[in-house]
Amino acid sequence: MNDSSTTLYLVRHGETQWNLEHRFQGQKDSPLSPRGIKQINTLGPYFEKNHIDALYSSDLGRAMATADIISQVTGLQVEALKALRERCFGIFEGLTHEPAREIKPQLFDQWRSGSMDVKVPGGESRQEMLDRVLPALYQIIDQHPGQKVAIVSHGGTLSALWRFLEPSRPESDGFSIPNASISTLSGQHKKLLVLKWSEINHLKGLKSLDDPSI
């Protein structure tokens, strides 16, 4: 990577009520929890110190609420992209794990295995999600050579991206992606390099950072 590389700050949205309840969110939405609001408020000081030139977000409400905090600090307008949405979980959306398992026990176990190709009725596979997310990232990189860009997205989206970028490393190394954590990548054309993953230093004043990645 050289001086024309784009720096990407990938931000997971703040904690939601459905995160607390261990529900599949997917492309349905849930309001940020009180802790989620505290989490996203730490992003303001972070991006005051770390200059960015552009701001993108998934168009889902929890991501847009998170991006709005960054927008207020930087003065940048948020560009919402449907392609950055969380993976669609179809008939599992809104359910906790046990009811989902009861509906489709074999399919639920296959989903838990981390397969790139498994999908539930009405949903999409991890691979299908990557097939829409990666072109969006590549386009952002091409539009902002040599610049720094913040992108607000989702836990499922980021964990699938980790598996794509670091195939030789255990998935568990990158699967824990706390709400409002920041992962830094360098990108050029269709090449992406992980610089930092799931940074949480800005969140250290908050308690109980672990959350369900569903």
What span, in angstroms and rounded, lies between the C-alpha atoms of 108 and 105?
Answer: 5
Q: Is 208 helix (H, G, I), strand (E, B) or coil?
A: coil
What span, in angstroms and rounded, lies between the C-alpha atoms of 61 and 28?
Answer: 9
Residues annotated as catalytic are: 13, 86
Q: Where are the beta strands (DSSP E) in 13-111?
A: 54-58, 78-81
What span, in angstroms and rounded, lies between the C-alpha atoms of 21 and 149?
Answer: 32
DSSP code per residue over 110-140? HHHTT-SS---TTB--HHHHHHHHHHHHHHH
